[in-house]
């Protein structure tokens, strides 16, 4: 958990239910924003992201952070993970960003496709919401992506 003001940011891996039993390979990421209260914590927001069916996410928790990169007094939340899978195809390293706009959190995504073949090249994809983010938030997400990529390679 990372403390940001009076909020706590929790991350945990949740195993997927398959035929009434828990899978050995977690594929879903759930995170939450909780408000500290005298009796414990209250859930304020839930964030989710789901890996592909044949992939196994490796959560890079030190690159999952809460930050206020744009200094607007409302933190953004960055979830970073790598999708491992069989085969030699390029694999995605993702930074999912949640930014509060008009009382709701908007999800944005930055993905680096990590090559595993000599003829492949690194490819970076930015979704439409990411392209609309303030430059400071984009910069923070790119820094997290680059640090996580360096660690993986």
For 55-104, what is each residue's pLDDT tens digit?
A: 677 778 788 888 899 998 888 888 888 887 777 788 889 999 999 888 88
Query: Residues 88-116, buried b or exposed e (16+ Cβ, 10 A)?
Result: eebbbbbbbbbbeeeeebebbbbbbbbbe
Do 137 and 69 form a contact (C-beta atoms < 8 A)?
yes
Give pLDDT, residue 144.
Answer: 97
pTM of the model: 0.76
Place of tokens 């997290």: 144
């Amino acid at each position: 958990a990372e403390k940001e003001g009076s909020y706590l940011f929790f991350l945990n891996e949740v195993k997927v239910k398959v035929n009434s039993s828990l899978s050995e390979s977690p594929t879903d990421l759930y995170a939450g924003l909780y408000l500290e209260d005298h009796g414990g914590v209250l859930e304020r927001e839930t964030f989710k992201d789901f890996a592909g069916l044949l992939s196994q996410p490796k959560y890079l928790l030190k690159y999952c952070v809460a930050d206020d990169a744009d200094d607007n007094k409302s933190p953004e939340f960055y979830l970073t993970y790598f999708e491992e899978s069989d085969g030699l195809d390029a694999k995605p390293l993702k930074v999912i960003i949640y930014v509060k706009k008009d009382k709701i959190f908007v999800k944005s995504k930055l993905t680096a496709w990590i090559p595993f073949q000599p003829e492949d090249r690194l490819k970076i994809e930015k979704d439409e919401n990411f392209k609309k983010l303030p430059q400071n938030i984009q910069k923070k997400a790119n820094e997290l992506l680059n640090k996580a990529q360096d660690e993986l390679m």
